[in-house]
Amino acid sequence: MSANKVYSVSEFVSAIKEYLEDGLGNVSIQGEVTGYRLAQERLIFFELKDESSRVVCFMMKYDLHTILEDGMEIRVHGNASLFKKSGGFHVRVREIELVGKGALNKALLMLKDKLEKEGLFAEERKRALPRFPHIVGLITSPDAAAYTDVVRVMNNRWSGVTIQFAPVGVQGPGSISSIVKALRYLSSVKEVDAIILTRGGGSLEDLQSFNSEDLARAIFGSRVPVVCGVGHERDWTIADLVADVRASTPSNAAERVVPDRREILFQIETLAASLEDGLRETIERYQDRAQRSLGLLETMMRSQTEKAQNVYQRFITSFREFDYAIRKKYEKVQHLERLVRTLSPQSTLDRGYSVTRKGGKVLKGSQDTVKGDILSTRLAKGEVISQVT
């Protein structure tokens, strides 16, 4: 009998652990949650059971993307393993899916209530979409009809837009983390103006990835507006509620993001016609004002011209009357001048008379002189001095 290899406890636990993890690989197990607890604010423990068995499950808090509590039917994805210290068998859970409409509805309503109280659904924090986006991020499955619908509608409506596509899985293991990563990446690209997050319809179980708390917070934290179009019009998800704009379908999401060039052309034509009509009305209004102003100015000028003509006529009449009066006065002055000249002593002298003075006194007769008086006689021209003998 050959000797068996002797393991230390640690070696044996490590060997079994490695055998389980490598041999079984990734496993998916479905059952009911029991004994759920959170340790050290980061470690989650629970058991998964069915009618006859149960298995211990362990996961990190950051891997939990849904609300979990006892009694829920779930499907876990992870690896079979052993705890190094205790050697206890467990499943190292990487992701959880809720199973059954009851569990899904309960988790959905609990998460909705939690996020609503935190204000993630508040209308006042939601952002408006850009009127004319240049680059639009698109997050969906490359194989889904949603992708084809969005691209077709966007190209038909506004062919100038660029689509930056981030392909993801929209359901199943790993879909939540891939969607969150894609959303955060597109949000970090400064050229992206808006993001469309979409997928086609499906059951409540199919839409689990869009009811994730992690995705809700990623949408809330996005730098640019997010349009969410998940499923059909009757469907709603947490992603719909937190998104800036909720679209009823993938096609409607595209319609909400880009304008219809036919509507824009119609608006431009309508605006141009309105501007033309307004300009015409303005020209006519100012033309009418100008005509009225010119008419008023013409009337005022005519009135002022008539006034000026009246003043001029009165001036001419007054000037003529004044001129006539001046001439009359001048003629009278000339007549008086002639009369004065006629009656003046000089005129008398010019006619041959003379004036004799004695000591400056005019003599009127010879009796006023005596022998030896010196006399001065004024002639028309000159003066004669004589002595009485």
SS (H, E, C) 261-279: HHHHHHHHHHHHHHHHHHH
Maximum CA extent, the chain: 219
Give the pLDDT score at 1. Answer: 47
Bridge partner list, 385: 376
Q: Note the pLDDT of residue 105.
A: 84
CA gap 360, 376 in Å, rounded: 8
CATH number for 19: 2.40.50.140
More confident residue, 50 or 377: 50
| Average confidence (pLDDT) over 354-380 | 79
Residue 3: the pLDDT is 63
In a domain, 339, yes or no: no
Tell me whether strands 89-98 and 54-60 are parallel, antiparallel or unpaired: parallel
371 to each of 361, 374, 377, 387, how far by Cα in Å? 17, 9, 16, 8
Q: How many domains does the chain have?
A: 4
Residue 280 in any domain: the answer is: yes
Residue with the larger pLDDT of the pair 343 and 194: 194
Q: Do 274 and 253 lie in a common domain?
A: no
Q: What is the mean pLDDT of residues 94-98?
A: 87
CATH number at residue 155: 3.40.50.261
Higher pLDDT, 243 or 264: 243
Question: Is residue 307 in a domain?
Answer: no
> Does residue 93 sit in the same domain as residue 148?
no
pLDDT category at 2 given cuts 50, 70, 90 is low
Q: Mark which of 294, 319, 339 sits at the end of a domain.
A: 294
Which is higher by pLDDT, 134 or 339? 134
The answer on 248 and 238 residing in a single domain is yes
**Are 252 and 147 in a shared domain?**
yes
> Which whole number is the average pLDDT over 185-190?
94
Residue 87 lies in a domain: yes
3-state secondary structure of 211: helix
Contact yes or no for 29/50 (Cβ under 8 A) = no
Q: Which domain holds residue 42?
A: 9-99
pLDDT for res 58: 93
Cα separation, 87 vs 83, whole angstroms = 5
Residue 74: which of 116, 53, 102, 52 has the closest Cα? 102
In this structure, is residue 344 part of a structural domain? Answer: no
Residue 41 has pLDDT above 70, yes or no: yes
